[in-house]
Amino acid sequence: MGVRSILIHPDPRLRKVAARVEAVDDGVRALAEDMLATMYDAPGIGLAATQLGVMKQVFVMDCAGKEEEPQPMVLLNPEILWRSEETETSEEGCLSIPEVYADVTRAARVGLRWLGLDGEIREQEFGERWAICAQHEIDHLNGRLFIDYLSAVKRTMITSRMKKLKREKARA
């Protein structure tokens, strides 16, 4: 399939909790491939399956710097084992909420456990952009968006802006 279309907020599918992946089969492998293609095409540094309307616990990310080699990662059934007490506030955006950026405070480092595409369970510590991105994507798999961390007033403003954007897109 390749590049798939990304759901734009508000959409009920972005608010659902994704189901665990039971087996790494061809369907999951194809989904991961499409997710990476869609993320790089956007372009973005992370994408959750729920953003494509697929209710599975899968996310992809590549937070490598512009000067670095690409470092694509695919994480199935990701779990946060621990979060650092130290926090980091950074400007976040989301492919499902285009052109909206806001500061969000999250744990600066996290320990994750996930299932790899090779069927192996992995554990790793993430810091910097990787930690922020992973927390943002895991939120997606739980039906949570970064705008949920903002004030209700801001969230309502952003949601109306997105509704307008979707109406304009539908007309075009």
Name the minimum Å distance from CB 137 to Zn ion.
Answer: 7
The residue among 28 and 133 lying less far from Zn ion, judged by its C-beta, is 133
Ramachandran quadrant class, 125 (left: phi over 0; alpha: psi -120 to 50; beta: rest): beta
**Run of H or E including 99:** strand 97-107
Q: Give the footprint of Zn ion on residues 102-131 (CB under 5 A).
A: none
The residue among 24 and 166 lying less far from Zn ion, judged by its C-beta, is 166
The residue among 12 and 119 lying less far from Zn ion, judged by its C-beta, is 12
Enumerate residues 6+ apart whose C-beta is below 8 A from 65. none
Binding mask 65-104 for Zn ion (x = CB under 5 A): -----------------------------x----------
Q: Total binding residues for Zn ion by CB under 5 A?
A: 1
Q: 143: closest CA among 7, 13, 31?
A: 13
Q: Give the footprint of Zn ion on residues 29-58 (CB under 5 A).
A: none
- Give yes or no: 137 in active site: yes
Distance between CA atoms of 147 and 123, rounded to whole angstroms? 28
> Binding residues for Zn ion, per CB under 5 A?
94
